[in-house]
Structure 1
Amino acid sequence: MDMNFTPEEIAFRDEVRGFLKDKLPEALAAKVKGGKRLLKGDYELWHTRLNERGWLAWHWPVDHGGTGWTPIEKHIFEEECVAAGAPRVVPFGLNMLGPVLIKFGSDEQRAHYLPRILNGDDWWCQGYSEPGSGSDLASLKTKAVRDGDHYLVNGQKTWTTLGHFADWIFCLVRTDSDCKPQQGISFLLIDMKTPGITVRPIVTLDGEHEVNEVFFEDVRVPVGNLVGEENKGWTYAKYLLTYERTGIAGVAFAKNGLAHLKQVAARQMKGRKPLAQDPLFASRVAQVEIDLMAMETFNLRTVSAAQHGGVPGVESSMLKIKGTEIRQEITDLLRRALGPYAAPFVPEGLDEGYNEPPIGPDYANPVASQYFNMRKVSIYGGSNEIQKNIVAKMMLGL
């Protein structure tokens, strides 16, 4: 595989940089780079700018509004967006549900939902995990019982990211209990305004309200909101998770985080020499950089294979495992590099316009929040332990 970009790819990179310079508001980029709390409107603004340019739906076919980019161009675009400080694109409707509807949905579902995802008319969230059914997703208990032209849904979902913003939720529900667990699951689209739905916040270790519990009590869902066939939802769920796990690896975010770590570690802190001069700390930074370079090469190899017709399988699990470990190590090292300045955590400091004198360097306040938040990435999307089992089964036959 040629690791160098072609002249056409370099020209594309320059085009992306020009777009970011013109269309990414400086204030928004400053919030992202400064670790400030992003509001719903911040995500919606960037979603709209990308859609106006036709650069929103990277993973979609052109005839459904996709960009037509090669996997290498997608890789370039993601790296440049992270480097410029663009907010992440909320993935649930665009990168998860969209591909499922394109492959498995009905013509009516594609015609209705896909344009609304692109235009930002609907904010989606994901209803997969339940209490006791996270990595063992096939054990889910939320039930959908057919009642004429509707399903009657009862149960609970948890760790529902940004569910408090959502208009709709795509849910895995049990429609048959008299079979193997994987064979009795269906994929439903549910309007969050339907009577019987309750959303309760979960405040995580970083002090943020990002995830939620969602309760369903006799929620009536039209049969037309079933995606694909009844009891075939496990197939659709696995297809969706391939997209999610590859994204969790976050190569671009790790590269950006490593560059920031090196800058912080090279600074002279009060009362001590730069930590980058400490041999033990420097060796840990070197190791994570080596791991990141290896993962980036593997990621490029994977997307290059996809460009020639390959379909990521076990590679998505491998990227998820290593990518999350690297991102956790980088935030841990950044916390160590800041020393005592990493300990104070002022939640208000993440708000735009907070003007109190900072405790330590101005870049220190979000570090504790980022460290705590990053603890979860090796768990969601299928825990790393489960991913290792998948790798062992698919590659080693164990």
Structure 2
Amino acid sequence: MDLTYSEEDQAFRAEVRGWLEEHLTGEWAALKGLGGAGRDHEAHEERVAWNRLLAEHGWTCLGWPEEYGGRGLSLAQQVIFHEEYARADAPGRVNHLGEELLGPTLIAFGTDEQKARFLPKIAAVEELWAQGYSEPNAGSDLANVQTRARLDGDDWVVDGQKVWTSNAHLSHWAFVLCRTEPGSQRHHGLSFLLVPLDQEGVDVRPIEQLTGGSEFNEVFFTGARTAADLVVGEPGDGWRVAMALLGFERGVSVLGQVVGFARELDGVVALARENGAIDDPVLRDRLAGLKVELAVMRFQALRGLAADDAASPSIFKLVWAGWHKRLGEAAMDVAGPAGLTALPGTEDEPYRLDRWQRLFLFSRSDTIYGGSDEVQRNILAERVLGLPREPKGA
């Protein structure tokens, strides 16, 4: 793994940094630090406008081939962009599921008509997407999907329920894994459908979280319709498409995530210096350990991107989720008694949390969403180490 950057890469870093310094000013400066995991409710419309400005200047879909509206940038340059974006404390991006997941999946499996219909609007941030995978009895066990779809003339008719659907209440479309072959089981007979959410047969119900936000949703499909040609890949081949999409999930943006973690850690250390908690040798040792672990995490992420092996995504998910959870716990210990008291609320908001309380509460979910720790360990055990599969019901 070569960790050096070429002169071209360094020039690209300067270009990204310069553009962000020039444009994150005036009205846009107020968006710094807003959005992100657990905070997607913050200034959503304003962040959509910011993301459309990024699109106008060619800062979306950096890794997509140019023929599909991307820039075809190298892996190193994509990493550079995400690192500089995080260092600038730029607002959380609103189009991750469309740009980083669905877009590459359509490029790999979609028809020419599907690519022409959807890719330009994803690149321009004109249509936002949600992921219709998890269900009440099919979260970690995705092959147990029960949402069904049947062909009715020129349409698929969808019935079922999805849950933990991030930002469905803010999205225009969802890519939905459905069972389209009656009597099929497990990963057989599934199809990957593109379903519009603004229709009578779709009911989106936000789930209120401890953090005060509602970025997760329940989505009920009752006779919802989508065109027959909006199946990605062949009908019944949805499992292969769905798994390919998950392969795109932990791409170059994870390096920006690490930079964001570093900023959070620096903030916790600054709070410890301010309130004297840094004088506690045990707590100081914990903070030092978190800093060392973060440096190792970055190298692990870089190695995983360079190697493109089966183990790296699961290893990295385990590492960063556990690390972030421990950071939230350390933040509460640094805050001391003040961390136990919420800020006064309003009529519409019973209580308000500071950034460290929100970090602590939301990071509890890090080891669950996107594939729980248990699932990641099973993947490593079975697919990498070749150990026997976990017994059913265990």
Asked whether the equivalents of residues 186 and 234 of structure 1 are also in contact (C-alpha less than 8 Å), the reply is yes
Aligned to 2:340: 343
Aligned to 2:390: none
Distance 1:124 1:106, change over 3 A: same
* 2:12 counterpart of 1:12: yes
Deviation digits for residues 89-135 of structure 1, max 9, x if unmatched? 23111111111111000000000100111122212111111111101
Amino acid of the structure 1 residue aligned with 2:282: L
Mean Cα displacement is larger for which, 24-33 or 316-325? 24-33
Q: Please, which of 44, 50, 53 is the counterpart of residue 49 of structure 1?
A: 53
Asked whether the equivalents of residues 332 and 357 of structure 2 are also in contact (C-alpha less than 8 Å), the reply is yes
Amino acid of the structure 2 residue aligned with 1:38: E
1:52 & 1:220 partners in 2: Cα distance?
33
The Cα shift of 1:394 comes to 2.4
Distance 1:120 1:69, change over 3 A: same
* 2:388 counterpart of 1:384: no
1:3 & 1:348 partners in 2: Cα distance?
48
Q: Which runs of 5+ in 2 are unaligned?
A: 388-394
Deviation digits for residues 56-84 of structure 1, max 9, x if unmatched? 10231222122222222222211211121
Distance 1:304 1:288, change over 3 A: same
Amino acid of the structure 2 residue aligned with 1:7: E
Aligned to 2:287: 285
1:255 & 1:240 partners in 2: Cα distance?
28
Which aligned pairs between 1:323-334 and structure 2 lie closer than 5 A?
323-334=320-331
Amino acid of the structure 1 residue aligned with 2:31: L
The Cα shift of 1:199 comes to 1.0
Distance 1:132 1:36, change over 3 A: closer
Q: Which runs of 5+ in 1 are unaligned?
A: 306-310
* 2:360 counterpart of 1:371: yes
* 2:115 counterpart of 1:110: yes
* 2:310 counterpart of 1:313: yes
Aligned to 1:85: 89
Q: Please, which of 148, 154, 158 is the counterpart of residue 149 of structure 1?
A: 154
The Cα shift of 1:36 comes to 9.6
The Cα shift of 1:11 comes to 2.1
Aligned to 1:29: 32
Q: Please, which of 44, 51, 64 is the counterpart of residue 60 of structure 1?
A: 64
Deviation digits for residues 199-251 of structure 1, max 9, x if unmatched? 11100121211111110111122111111101111111111112224556832
Asked whether the equivalents of residues 140 and 173 of structure 1 are also in contact (C-alpha less than 8 Å), the reply is yes
1:263 & 1:13 partners in 2: Cα distance?
28
Q: Please, which of 251, 258, 265 is the counterpart of residue 272 of structure 2?
A: 265
The Cα shift of 1:180 comes to 4.0
TM-score between the two structures when normalised by the length of structure 1: 0.88
Aligned to 1:178: 183
Deviation digits for residues 26-65 of structure 1, max 9, x if unmatched? 11115469x7952221321221121111111023122212
Amino acid of the structure 2 residue aligned with 1:75: V
Identity over aligned pairs, percent? 36
1:142 & 1:179 partners in 2: Cα distance?
12
* 2:319 counterpart of 1:322: yes
Matched positions, count:
377
Amino acid of the structure 2 residue aligned with 1:261: V
SS at match of 1:198: strand
1:16 & 1:251 partners in 2: Cα distance?
18
SS at match of 1:208: coil
2:271 & 2:77 partners in 1: Cα distance?
31
SS at match of 2:229: helix
2:254 & 2:242 partners in 1: Cα distance?
16
1:387 & 1:163 partners in 2: Cα distance?
25
Mean Cα displacement is larger for which, 222-231 or 2-11? 2-11
Q: CA RMSD in A?
A: 2.4
The Cα shift of 1:290 comes to 2.0
1:6 & 1:200 partners in 2: Cα distance?
49
Aligned to 1:308: none
Query: Greater RCO between the two (CA within 8 Å, min separation 6)?
Result: 1
Distance 1:30 1:347, change over 3 A: farther
